[in-house]
Amino acid sequence: MSSVEEASRMAIRGGSIRKRCYCRDESGRRLGARCSRLKLASGAWSSGHGVWAFQIELPPAPGGRRRILRRVSNTQPGTRADVAAELARVCELMSLADGDEALADEIAGVLMACKRGRPLPDPRQMARQLRSGVPNASSVSVGEYLTWWVTHRNIDEHTRIGYASHVRVHLDPHLGHLPLARLNSAHIEAMFATITGRNRQILEDRASADPARAGAATATRLTTPATIARVRATLRKALNDAMAKHRLIDFNPAVYAELPAYDPPRVRVWTERAIAQWKAGGMVPSEVMVWTPEQAGAFLDHAQRHDPALYPMFLLIMLGGPRRGEVVGVRTDQIDFDDKTATFSHQLTEHGYQPVYKKVKTRSGDRVIFLDSATFNDLRAYWELRESWRIAAGARWPRTVTVLTPVPGGYTPIQVDLFFRQPDGRAWHPSSVTDRFQRDAAAAGLPPIRLHDGRHSAATYMKAAGADLLDMRKKLGHASVTVTGDIYPASLDEIDRMIAERTAALIPRNRPAGPRTDAGPTGPDSPRAVPPATDPTQRTKDQVTAQEEAGSPTDSPTPRPPATGTAGAVPWPRPGRRRDRYPRDVR
């Protein structure tokens, strides 16, 4: 039998109850149980001196150091029964280890950490927390739990990096010191109020007349509403796991925290007016902007002439809508020159800054798109250009490139024949593709958009070409048609005007011949010469006569009387009585 098991058995069986006081001797040392006033002459404990206490030896700490738990009654001086109940609770808590040395050590550490005056852990709560698998769950703080949660989740490494960033930058500095069991909605709302206040201060500093203050604020990043929403989503997921999976808390306070509603940015088109405002003051109408077809054509023409190595990538993104990682990571065998198709099943994305080759985000993202004839010809021309690079490089040209792919516990290198290569045969880094896109767009004299906005542009052009949402969802690789319809496409002005004209043309009209104007007969005998009264009850006789002679306005429909013979029908008013033109019950 190990020393820990023996100590646990001793702790469950042992323990002693006695009285102690805080009297001191002449040298200032505390007498404790040696005080002569603690017992009467008969040997019984004195009821008027000292407090009841117990002590019990727990399993030793790592290294063999003894751990003796001593606690006094929470009520002064207390009773022996109160102390005995506390000692019985300690024994019940230690019995939860059931011979497990690690659990016995963890429970002993929790008991030794209980401060004086604080109640001991509830055995049922402790049993539930021990089953959660979270180390030191009964005394864990928010920061400790979030760090453990991010480390032990079985998720994609890119997602883990995002969660870790939210914990490190926002959650741990504001909430990390709080005990997990005491976290509430007010703490979370206070955190986001602090973040919002910091944003407000940054904006005020940027508008300051002090150049040093404005410069420092310009270099400081704002926490956008989208980031705040993602931070809250991370915390909500972590606390959901703490409640449902680990049984550490009874409710999720992140669900009840009130935050300002977040409206995702709308997709806007760079119209002539928007471009003028951007050139005048640098204002961008939305975080997500798309080019008009003419602007996209100008960009592609510029890229084809000045950046032929990356032009086919930009062309695929603007017309087919693949993500950046999907087009950078497409393999040579996935470009089918016979069927004129491109298959996207993997992506070359970034974990931090490290390029990683892995499967696409969702099952629906694994798709095949058809290429138009012009795009097919451009991809064929790029293949011939790549072959010329290979011939010029000779033996230095790598047949495949080495990339990392995630595996349980880390990454492993694999060899992949990527279709798009640098002139020396190396793979493109995704960030380099983004930088070149921004450079080419600026050189073409176009307003700024993100490379990912090219995907939104593709959705906009597909919508303008007449594609329905199901076709667009399939080509873009979305899991839900709701995302395709609500977030991705914008509306082109020309298409909206055409729809407006076609909608109006569906309603047959019998309008008066000739152009409609506000001009009419003039002169003293003209009905229009009499100004209309603003209050129909105050009109003069001349005004009533003028209205009767003029008749109904040309843009008002001629009223038709109700069918006769209908029971309860209201008689139609006389045409000349303007004030009673409509029945009284509907006027």
Q: What is the DSSP secondary-structure string of 362-412?
A: SGGGSEEEEPPHHHHHHHHHHHHHHHHHHHHHGGGS-SSEEEEEEETTEEE
> What mean pLDDT comes out for the span 216-228?
88
What's the half-sphere exposure (Cβ side, CA atoms, 13 Å) at 341? 10
Supply the DSSP string of 507-549, one letter for each residue.
S---PPSS---S----STTSGGGSPPPSSGGG--HHHHHHHHH
pLDDT of 421-470, one tens digit each?
999 999 999 999 999 999 999 999 999 999 999 999 999 999 988 888 88
pLDDT of 561 higher than 60:
no
pLDDT at residue 565 in the model: 45
pLDDT for the residue 118? 76
Domain with CATH 1.10.443.10 in the chain: 268-498
User: Strand order of the sheet with strand 16-20?
Assistant: 16-20, 51-58, 67-72
Question: What's the CATH number of domain 142-256, 1.10.10.10, 1.10.150.130, 1.10.1060.10, 1.20.1070.10?
Answer: 1.10.150.130
Rounded Cα–Cα distance for residues 147 and 580 (Å): 77
Predicted local distance difference test score (pLDDT) of residue 333: 95
Quick check: pTM over 0.85? no
Tokens of 480: 């839900």
Contact 414, 357 (CB under 8 A): yes
Task: Give the pLDDT of residue 285.
Answer: 92
Q: What is the pLDDT of residue 132?
A: 63
401-407 and 341-344 beta bridge pairing: unpaired
- Output 1 or 481, whichever has higher pLDDT: 481
Q: Which is nearest to 315 in space by CA: 387, 389, 374?
A: 374
The kind and range of the H/E element at 72 are strand 67-72
Q: Provide the pLDDT for residue 570.
A: 46
500-518 mean pLDDT: 76
What does the pLDDT look like over 336-360, one tens digit per residue?
999 999 999 999 999 888 999 999 9
Per-residue pLDDT tens over the stretch 126-143: 776 666 666 555 568 899
Q: What is the mean pLDDT of the chain?
A: 82
Q: Is the pLDDT of residue 186 over 90?
A: yes
Can you tell me the mean pLDDT for 475-501?
81
Could you tell me which residue, 543 or 275, shows the higher pLDDT?
275
Higher-pLDDT residue of 429 and 484 is 429
In the chain, CATH 1.10.150.130 covers 142-256
pLDDT band for 14, please (50, 70, 90 cuts).
Answer: low
What residues pair up with 473 in beta bridges, in sequence order? none
% of the chain exceeding 70 in pLDDT: 82
Reference 130, options 144, 140, 116, 118; nearest CA is: 140
Q: How far apart are CA 94 and CA 106, in angstroms?
A: 10
> Stretch 286-293: mean pLDDT, rounded?
93
- Other beta carbons within 10 angstroms of residue 60's beta carbon come to 15
Mean pLDDT confidence for 274-280:
93
Find all residues with CB under 8 Å of 258, minimum gap 6, and list them: 185, 189
Query: What is residue 567's predicted lDDT score, i.e. its pLDDT?
Result: 46
What is the band of 11 on the pLDDT scale with cuts at 50, 70, 90? very low
Angstrom distance (rounded) from CA 328 to CA 161: 21
The fold for domain 268-498 equals hpI Integrase; Chain A (1.10.443)
Least confident of 69-73, 290-294, 536-540: 536-540
Q: Which pLDDT does position 220 carry in this prediction? A: 87
Report the percentage of the chain scoring pLDDT > 90.
Answer: 42
* Better-predicted residue by pLDDT, 517 or 188: 188
> What's the CA gap between 233 and 92, in Å, rounded?
39
